[in-house]
Chains A and B, each alone.
Chain A
Amino acid sequence: MTVISYRQALHDALREELLRDEDVFLIGEEIGLFEGSYKITAGLLDEFGPKRIRDTPIAEEGFTGAAIGAAMVGLRPVVEIMTINFSLLALDQIVNHAAKIYGMFGGQARVPLVIRTPGGGGQQLGATHSQNIELYYAFVPGMKVVAPSTPADAKALMLAAVRDDDPVLVLENLALYNTTGEVPEDLAPAEIGRAAITREGRDITVVAYSRMAAVALEAAEELADDGIEVEVVDLRSLRPLDRDTIIASVKKTNCAVTLEDDWLTYGIGAELAATISDGAFDWLDAPVRRVAMAEVPMPYAKTLEEAALPSVRDAVAAIRETLDAVARRR
């Protein structure tokens, strides 16, 4: 067991897959010579050469489409989109082609495509470069969307994504790249669609993913000082969504708070609240609370950006208010 960064875990997963399967290749902007904007692909051009580590022009629709075609004929492309914001330029390729080809054409071709791309704010990159729009893809049948919050999950889910025969979007997170954690050297691929209980507790369920799953653990730690036992469900996968794990947890705790980096309205928290209402209505002791980003384009000013992003403090406040509502505060 070694302790490595989230960034290193992603790098290791890509390298292992490049070594394991010669059909795997990487494609994207500045991933070769420049070693990637966030250095996930550092050293890979030297090791695997330009045929398997392909730099592209700034043309997301073009290189994503090229990767989809390559996947249809049997290769296993891993596309890097520099940040998820730029995936909007490839939206038609992803939503109308990658996600639909298998179903629309009678299963003649699968699309074993990986799109790896970081989301998240907090880097003072402004409104167009700080978004979390994974829900656009989690919305689409035919897609899989995974969102690891730890180095171990980053590696295990990336391994699983490359080996999956359907298009998988791997949501990375700018704020998580430098976080560290234990990663077993012989880590097996994760099962896509399975959430993890990352902390057990009996008082309240907090459902989160990606950066907010880490925030949830921090909030749980803070509340533990007051004797409050928070159970944290780290979704890991947004589509498919592990509804059973969420519902089982809420049946135990009788109340829930959801955390997301996205905007609240029509967001993933809304889907989670509906899931809980469907599956655990008769176990609920309070309405499901959602914690999300302020409904504004992300401000550039540091103070305003911090104010807009959901924080540990926001999570703690929502949890305490929910526990007040069920009169179960110890």
Chain B
Amino acid sequence: MIDILMPRLSDTMTEGAIAVWHKKPGDQVEPGDVLVEIETDKALMEQEAYDAGTLSEILVQEGENVAIGTPIARLDDGTGGGAVPVSAAAVAAAVDPAVDPAPRPTREQRLLATPVVRRLAKERGIDLNGIAGSGPGGRIVRADLDARSGTAPSAELPVAEPPVPGETVPGETAPVEREAVPAADVTRVPFDATRRAIATRLTQSATTVPAFHATASADVTDLLALRAAANETTAVSGAKVSVNDLVVKAVALALREHPTLNASYSPDAGGQTLHHARVHIGIAVAAPSGLVVPVVRDADEATIAAIARRTRTLAARAADRTLTASELSGGTFTVSNLGMFGVEHFTAIINPPQGAILAVGASSEALTVADGEITTRQRLAYTLTCDHRIIDGADAGRFLATLTALLENPLRLLVG
């Protein structure tokens, strides 16, 4: 008898929800058969069987949420006897063959958190990944959790029984003024795993990262002309190039020139800057379930056409929730673009542990004096947000200057 456990399907996953069971008790199972679809904080993923046998029991029903490592089903492999758990780590490794270890130095390191923190995080459903630890060596201590939930250490809390579902956890911020809005005017939408991940990670980023913003703009008249020309030639194949594809390519080349921006923050050993040798650009995509950030790997080495194709594929997979963990992990910098909505300018929140994010607006006509004549040119504004713990203002300025030069001389994007 084999216990099938909730696998760890991403770096930040702490629990997963059963979306659909593809097998029911009594079904024969062969290795490679899709057993179940699991919704993680990032994606809906298929889980395949690794052993042959008969599915004897489903332990976690559709719609239920359990921590990784929890048995979700039992497979009778004919050996009888007690259950042998299929380790979540082995499963994750099998699911994630595209992992390249080089750009993610924090992945192998154990998250430092004290026992009481681990227990409280489990009880309160808090994801410890990304919480900045203030203890020795970046260890997460109880004060970090208490600060996060806005409570002082409570004498009653540690000896309290595990909370009954639905009860307010002592020490958590109590719901206040809940009745200020008539209930009939409000539709309550409980967070799903994606929304919860967005809320947790961006709150952590916005409240713990000392961020600064720097805005620049480029004359993109030539860039837009290049794009129009390129799309005329590819009109038949339909692989159109977007402004964002060009921006991603320019950002990737600029990052190669300015490795200080291609960096992540690590709390280990009192704080470290992780410089990444490869340039993997995360692209913010509005998926039905909310924001997801699939990654275009080695974007500096890719052609614009390759970036365009890859981005289109990733966006489609985001739309039908089939992005894999490896497609969602390993980004070293993120580009977020609201230009298609006519947004002129905005700032984005850093996607931790990455060091910076670029928010791109829409291009618009601007009057310019060139060679003594007033002409109209297209200008594109973009705002860089940086983690000041690892990136200084001058670094940001130099990066933006390079990026602007690339966007204003788009032929360099073809040969870079």
| Chain A interface (Cβ < 8 Å from any Cβ of B) | 202, 248, 251-252, 254, 281-286, 325-328
Contact = CB atoms under 8 A, between A and B. Distances in A.
B115 A327 contact: no
A286 B141 contact: yes
Contacts of B85: none
Q: Which 7 A-B pairs have the closest CB atoms?
A: A327-B143, A282-B119, A327-B134, A285-B142, A285-B114, A326-B141, A202-B155
B119 A325 contact: no
A202 B144 CA distance: 17
A254 B135 contact: no
Contacts of A281: 115
B186 interface: no
A282 B157 CA distance: 13
Interface string B358-400: 0000000000000000000000000000000000000000000
A325 B153 contact: no
B154 to A, nearest CB: 9
Interface string B149-162: 00001010011000
Given A251-B158, A282-B119, A327 B141 contact: yes
Interface of B: 114-119, 134-136, 139, 141-144, 153, 155, 158-159
Nearest to B135: A325
A326 B119 contact: no
Given A281-B115, A282-B115, A251 B159 contact: yes
B119 A285 contact: no
Nearest to B145: A285
Given A284-B114, A325-B141, A327-B135, A254 B158 contact: yes
Contacts of A286: 114, 135, 141
A281 B119 CA distance: 10
Contacts of A328: 141-143, 153
A286 B134 CA distance: 12
22 contacts: A202-B153, A202-B155, A251-B158, A254-B114, A254-B153, A282-B119, A283-B119, A284-B115, A284-B116, A285-B114, A286-B114, A286-B135, A325-B135, A325-B139, A326-B114, A326-B135, A326-B141, A327-B143, A327-B144, A328-B142, A328-B143, A328-B153
Nearest to B147: A327
A116 to B, nearest CB: 38
* Interface hub of A282, A284, A325 (most chain B Cβ within 10 A): A282
